[in-house]
Amino acid sequence: MNDIRNIAFIGAGNMTQSIVGGMCQSGYPAKQIWVSNPSSAKLEKLESAHGLNTSNDNHHVAKQADVIVLAVKPQLMADVCSDLAANVDLSGKLIITIAAGIRIPKYHQYLNDDQLTVIRVMPNTPSLVGEGVSGIVSDERAQASDKDYVTDVFNGVGETIWVADEDELDILGAVAGSGPAYFFEFMASLKKAAVELGFDSEKARLMVQQTCLGAAKMAQHSDLSLEELRKQVTSKGGSTAKGVEVYQQADIDNISSDAVKAAVKRNQEMAELF
Ligand SMILES: NC(=O)c1ccc[n+]([C@@H]2O[C@H](COP(=O)([O-])OP(=O)(O)OC[C@H]3O[C@@H](n4cnc5c(N)ncnc54)[C@H](OP(=O)(O)O)[C@@H]3O)[C@@H](O)[C@H]2O)c1
């Protein structure tokens, strides 16, 4: 990363630990990272792993920073933001939020300042193991340099995808955010099929998870479309063709389309709760 700013994370949970880990691994100076959390155990772990700055006081870390990452649970966000706004001069600071479901205009309300630049990032759970997809959207105040900065920070835990607006972020959430659950559902069913035919559970799991990883890596390293890749590993009249036929007869495209639409609808409903 070329653009190094003083950055403060409010909340030292799982996601903050992963993001901060990614930043430090890519050489971001730990002395320019602050993290706050009400309890101390997670802070001590972060401090000893990376040598960054920690505090139990949100105000203290926010005052040190040019960039504030709001990383508390969504239901705490309104209180945490209004407390920050009442005690810290936030003008000129870049606000990043990773909370699910809360739209950008709400932050202007919570932070009592409609001039603040807010960038909303939606990382998915595999970010916790450095293989995430983060959807990112900003309000019109964000400068190109702010966008590049946020992209660099979240590239530390996987891939980043900028979207046009928060409606599109709901769609990304329904594919990439919910996607790990869809894959686990499919993997579990494939594993059950292997067990049903006599494999022990451990071997069945190993073959399924490694096949999933292998297929993902083949897709990652290939210029072919996913449809072409599928055709390439399916000989005409062979056993794979027979298996694929069963999925196609069950109309897997429609199943996926219905699943994503149901998740988008729920994302829209949840945004209404805030
Ligand atoms: N995990 C994911 O896969 C994922 C994916 C996308 C988005 N997100 C979003 O990321 C945010 C954090 O998620 P997470 O999984 O990291 O949650 P988490 O592990 O529960 O972390 C939340 C942290 O916030 C701390 N906290 C509570 N009250 C606070 C306060 N007043 N001030 C400062 N910190 C406070 C908690 O401390 P204590 O434990 O000491 O109470 C906890 O360490 C959430 O908004 C979530 O929607 C998470």
DSSP string, 251-268: THHHHHHHHHHHHHHHHH
Q: How far apart are CA 39 and CA 271, in angstroms?
A: 29
Ligand 1 mutation pick, 70, 72, 83, 96, max ligand atoms within 8 A of CB:
72
Mean pLDDT of 212-221: 97
Q: Where are the beta strands (DSSP E) in 98-174?
A: 117-123, 132-138, 158-162
- 109 dihedral zone (left: phi>0; alpha: psi -120 to 50; beta): alpha
Q: Which residues are annotated as a binding site for NADP(+)?
A: 10-15, 71-74
Q: How far apart are CA 43 and CA 264, in angstroms?
A: 35
Question: Is residue 173 one of the residues assigned to a domain?
Answer: no
Strand pairing of 117-123 and 132-138? Answer: antiparallel
User: Do 93 and 64 touch, CB atoms closer than 8 A?
Assistant: no
Mean pLDDT of 156-176: 97
Q: Where are the beta strands (DSSP E) in the chain?
A: 7-10, 33-36, 53-55, 67-70, 94-97, 117-123, 132-138, 158-162
Residue 1 has pLDDT above 90, yes or no: no
Mean pLDDT of 232-240: 96
Residue 154 has pLDDT above 90, yes or no: yes
**CATH number, domain with residue 112:** 3.40.50.720
* Domain identity same for 152 and 189: no
* Domain identity same for 26 and 127: yes
Closest C-alpha to 150, from 76, 206, 97, 106: 97
| pLDDT score recorded for residue 73 | 96
Q: Looking at the 3D structure of the chain, how many domains does it have?
A: 2
Q: How far apart are CA 205 and CA 195, in angstroms?
A: 9
Atom of ligand 1 nearest to the CA of 41: 40
**DSSP classification of residue 33:** E
Q: Where are the beta strands (DSSP E) in 46-156?
A: 53-55, 67-70, 94-97, 117-123, 132-138
* Domain identity same for 203 and 129: no
- Of the three residues 163, 193, 228, the one that is the final residue of a domain is 163
List, chain by chain if needed, residues with CB within 6 Å of any ligand 1 atom.
Answer: 10-16, 36-39, 42, 58, 71-74, 76, 80, 98-100, 122-125
- Of the three residues 138, 163, 188, the one that is the final residue of a domain is 163
Question: Is residue 171 one of the residues assigned to a domain?
Answer: no
Ligand 1 mutation pick, 10, 59, 73, max ligand atoms within 8 A of CB:
73
For residue 101, the CA-to-ligand 1 centroid distance in Å is 14
Question: Is residue 172 one of the residues assigned to a domain?
Answer: no
| pLDDT score recorded for residue 63 | 98
User: Do 117 and 95 touch, CB atoms closer than 8 A?
Assistant: yes
Question: Is residue 170 one of the residues assigned to a domain?
Answer: no
Mean pLDDT of 68-74: 97
For residue 214, the CA-to-ligand 1 centroid distance in Å is 32
**CATH number, domain with residue 259:** 1.10.3730.10
* Domain identity same for 263 and 155: no
* Domain identity same for 89 and 124: yes
| pLDDT score recorded for residue 274 | 87
> Mind listing the pLDDT tens digit for each residue in 90-149?
999 999 999 999 999 999 999 999 999 999 999 999 999 999 999 999 988 999 999 999
* Domain identity same for 183 and 148: no
Question: Is residue 49 one of the residues assigned to a domain?
Answer: yes
Q: Where are the beta strands (DSSP E) in 117-227?
A: 117-123, 132-138, 158-162
- Which domain, by its residues, includes 114? 7-163
User: Do 194 and 202 touch, CB atoms closer than 8 A?
Assistant: no
Q: Which residues are CB-contacts of 17 (< 8 A; sequence separation ≥ 6)?
A: 42, 45, 46
Question: Is residue 1 one of the residues assigned to a domain?
Answer: no
Mean pLDDT of 44-48: 97
| pLDDT band, residue 2 (cuts 50/70/90) | confident
